[in-house]
Structure formats: C-alpha cells, structure tokens
Amino acid sequence: MAQNFEPVALSTKEDYKLDGPVKWCAGCGGHAVLATVKNVLPETGIDKDKVVFVSGIGCSSRFPYYINTYGFHGMHGRANPVASGIKVSNPNLSVWIVTGDGDSMAIGGNHFIHMIRRNINVNVLLFNNKIYGLTKGQYSPTTPKGSVTKTSPDGTIENAFKPGELTMGAQGTFFARTVDSDPKMMRKVFKAAAEHKGTSVVEILLNCVIFANQVHNDITGKDVRDDHQIFLEHGKPMIFGKERKKGLMMKCNKMEVVTIGENGVTEDDLIVHNTKDPDDTNHYRLVRMELPEFPVAMGVIRAIDSSVYESEMYDQVQHARRTTKIKSMDDLLQSGNVFESKG
C-alpha cells in the first residue's frame, strides 16, 4: 500500500513553533535539533496535521511538548511500540520517534531492534549523549568503558553499545549519524531520513553540558573535526581532512586511511560511498570506525530499498477480507472453530 500524502499549502518553520518554554538546559544540544527539525518539516511537503512525534522518558523525550504537531509522551523505552501502532493503524501519518541512548538502548532495546527488523516506516532521532541526564548522571548503554559516573565511581566495566552496530545487526535499511553542533549536516540527514521508506535511524552525537560535557569533543571540537570526521555522500569518494587530502581505501580487503598524493595514491583509488548497497559489509565497517585509527563516519551511511511492514500487513488484511467466508460474529460462532462446554 503506497502512502498518499496529499498536497497542501506549504508550511513554514513558524507553523511548528509553540509559545511555551523549552525546558532543556542552556547549551543542551536538544535546542539545535529542535530548531533543525522545524526547518526540515516544511521541506517534506507533508501536512502539519499528519505529523506525529512520539517519545519515551528522558531529556530527549520532552520533544513532543516543544513542537506544534500531534504528540504522544509514552513510558520509559516504549516509544517504539507506540509509534509502530500509530503508523500501522494510520499509514498516511508521518511518524517520528525522539529517544535517548538510555531510553532506546536499555529498557527499550528489545522494542528498538524489532521495530528496525520489521522495517516500519518511522523516523528515529536518537539523542546520544552517552549518559542518563534526566536522572542525574548514571552511565548508560553507550557510555565508554572506564568512564567515571555517578553509578561507576571506579569506572564502568561494561562494553558500550554502538547504535549503528545494533541497527546493522537488526537488518536496518537506513542509518545515519550527525552532530548537534552542525545544523547544516543535521538538515541534510533529517531530510534524507524523512524521505526514506522504512525505519530510519539517525544517531545524533549530542552534548550534555551538565553530566557529560564535551563527551564528543574529540570528534566535534573545532580544531579537530575536519580530521576526525568524514562526511559521507552517496556516489562520492570517501575524502576528509582539513586540506581534503585524506581518504579511505581498501587494501587486502581492509579499510585503511591514506593520504592522496603519497605512495601514488589518487582520488580514483578511494572507496566510493554506496548507501544503496544491499551487502552491508562496508556499511558495517563504517559504523564501527573509531578514533584514533579512523575518522568517525557522518552523514547517511546506509539507505537501501526494501518492503515496509505496514504495506505488507495491509495487503494481507485486504486479502483476508476478500477471501474469508466469515463476514460477521455470527459467522464466526457458527464456523465450527469453537468449543462447546457441556456441564
């Protein structure tokens, strides 16, 4: 079943603004995400009254209160099943989930991977500040091993989840990564997520100024970001660096960082990014890249075409309606597929 978003008068970012206060800390990356979403939504061409934001529990989950659309503030970790139900029951809605690394990776982890596996056509904005902020600084599933927090005074002894790895492992069709300090990058990524048919997961490296300040600074700091990030674009060679002289190349079936102009390396030797490759081998390599060996991959990493859950379910329901002999409750009770109790 195709989605039919009827043409309407174009909205503006002002249409998505609310008058109430935004109760995030000053300097929280959520402010930049909110502003960018308000800029992107009018570009989708979807009627504002067909947009729904769903959240669970956490700082990120205040989002539905700060944007002038329909919204649902759910229980901890339960945004994904709520959003799934909304989308399946009304496929013509544009459904967005706003969640955090704790909300989605811990108590909501099971819902997260199964929604991705089903490929329900919703958009996930995952605020990853690598800490539980709302409950005052406990370590989360994405907190780096060894980090000192309120609940790990001697350092965490757990390996951290990587959202991209979970998405790949759950057969995800779309994964992207961006940072709260780059509105231009966020805008490109959010728009691509909105256009994708299927579950789009966007990891946003977000700063918590109170409990994990500058946790992403090795990646996002102004003095290092050009050399420590690589912004990927479909169909373009993987180039990065302040001087645009570094790139990624395959050598002996391994990805390596090379310098253009050294050892005969040219731009033609670099890997050309293919977001639509059904083989997720390179996508998996990209989501796993870490400093200092590699730059951190940004932009749309994976975006493949695949059937969406709600469309196939709709087709099954329509087929059942056409072929079933049971048209009423009375037909069901007389069908023979019942038990008779004789006292």
**What pLDDT score does 4 carry?**
54
- Residue 238 CA to residue 247 CA, distance in Å, equals 5
Strand order in 94-100's β-sheet? Answer: 70-73, 51-55, 94-100, 123-128, 200-205, 174-179, 296-303, 229-232
Is the pLDDT confidence value at 341 over 80? Answer: no
**What pLDDT score does 134 carry?**
85
**What pLDDT score does 332 carry?**
82
Is the pLDDT confidence value at 1 over 60? Answer: no
The letter for the amino acid at 301 is I
Chain segment 243-281, per-residue pLDDT in tens: 999 999 999 999 999 999 999 999 999 999 999 999 999
- Residue 112 CA to residue 161 CA, distance in Å, equals 13
Helical (H) or strand (E) element with 296: strand 296-303
**What pLDDT score does 9 carry?**
56
- Residue 225 CA to residue 238 CA, distance in Å, equals 16
- Residue 92 CA to residue 86 CA, distance in Å, equals 10
Task: Please state, in angstroms and as integers, the Cα–Cα distance from residue 105 to each residue in 34, 76, 111, following that order.
Answer: 22, 11, 9
* Domains of the chain, CATH where assigned: 16-236+276-312 (3.40.50.970), 238-272 (no CATH)
DSSP-derived letter for residue 143 is S
- Residue 201 CA to residue 158 CA, distance in Å, equals 24
Residues 6+ apart with CB under 8 A from 224: 218
Please report the DSSP string for 70-119 in residue order: EEEE-STT-HHHHHHHHHHH-TTSEEEEEEEHHIIIIITHHHHHHHHHHT
Chain segment 70-123, per-residue pLDDT in tens: 999 988 889 999 999 999 999 999 999 999 998 998 988 899 999 999 999 999
Global confidence as pTM: 0.91
- As a whole number, the mean pLDDT across the chain is 93
The letter for the amino acid at 135 is T
Q: Which two tokens stand for residue 200?
A: 């789009």
Q: Which two tokens stand for residue 223?
A: 């003095």
